[in-house]
Amino acid sequence: MRKVFYLVLMSVLFLANQLNANEAKQENSNQTYNIGGHFKLTDQDGKTFDSNKIDKPYLLVFFGYTSCKSTCPTALHELTNFMQQNKNFINKVQPVFISLEPSKDTPEKLKALWNQYNKSIVMLTSTEKDGGDKYIKDLIHQYKIYSATIQLSAKEQKELGEEYIIEHTSIFYLIDRKTGHLIKPVAGNSDAMNSELKGYK
């Protein structure tokens, strides 16, 4: 839990630094930051999802991977609860989960994860036709995502059933659909969602 808290804190501080660096370029508070970008990926049903063509003004983007044991399930659970309590949220905002591990996260694996949470959340991966790992690496750069593969000790591998974990930014990105750029970062907990997304629900 201490490591998860540290990752959340580092993610928020990292994005805060990026936003402060861009703040002087903003003419008013309604403009978006130069973080983010449009994307075209494959969803949990094997269909193409184009962020530039959705019929909603905003996206709520989260980067993670299906084998994640703590950060991703917690964030998705909190988002599901928030959406259940705010039924109109999906009318304005399209939530998406983007895999950091597309080589392993097939549409089938995404579908299994999708079945556990609110069905309005779209799960996305990058297949060969989308550009594979390189496409995701480019998105990571555009979205200023922290992502690092950490090899586990023998003891940790036995406990978790995994050879490694991917430490990553654990916050949501509220994105303007028209520009593809960040409006604001939102922590993955109910208090932050109720506060930061109150104008979008």
At residue 60, the pLDDT reads 98
Taking residues 179-189, what's their average pLDDT?
Answer: 94
Q: Greater confidence, 21 or 178?
A: 178
The residues, any chain, with a CB within 8 Å of residue 150's CB and separated by 6 or more, are 164, 165, 166, 167
Query: How many structural domains are present in the chain?
Result: 1
Which runs of consecutive H residues, i.e. helices, occur in the chain?
2-23, 71-85, 89-92, 107-114, 132-142, 154-160, 190-196
Alpha helices by DSSP H, 152-189: 154-160
Rounded percentage of the chain residues whose pLDDT exceeds 90: 70
151: containing domain = 2-27+34-200
- Kindly indicate the confidence band of residue 11, based on its pLDDT and cuts at 50, 70 and 90: low
CA of residue 51 relative to chain centroid, distance: 13
pLDDT in tens, 47-101: 999 999 999 999 999 999 999 988 999 999 999 999 999 999 999 999 999 999 9
Confidence of residue 13 (pLDDT cuts 50, 70, 90): very low
pLDDT in tens, 142-181: 999 999 988 888 888 888 788 888 999 999 999 999 999 9
Reported confidence tier of residue 4, pLDDT bands at 50, 70, 90: very low
Q: Which amino acid is at 5?
A: F
Higher pLDDT, 67 or 12: 67
What does pLDDT average to over the chain? 86
CATH number, domain containing residue 48: 3.40.30.10
Please say if the pLDDT value at position 16 is more than 60.
Answer: no
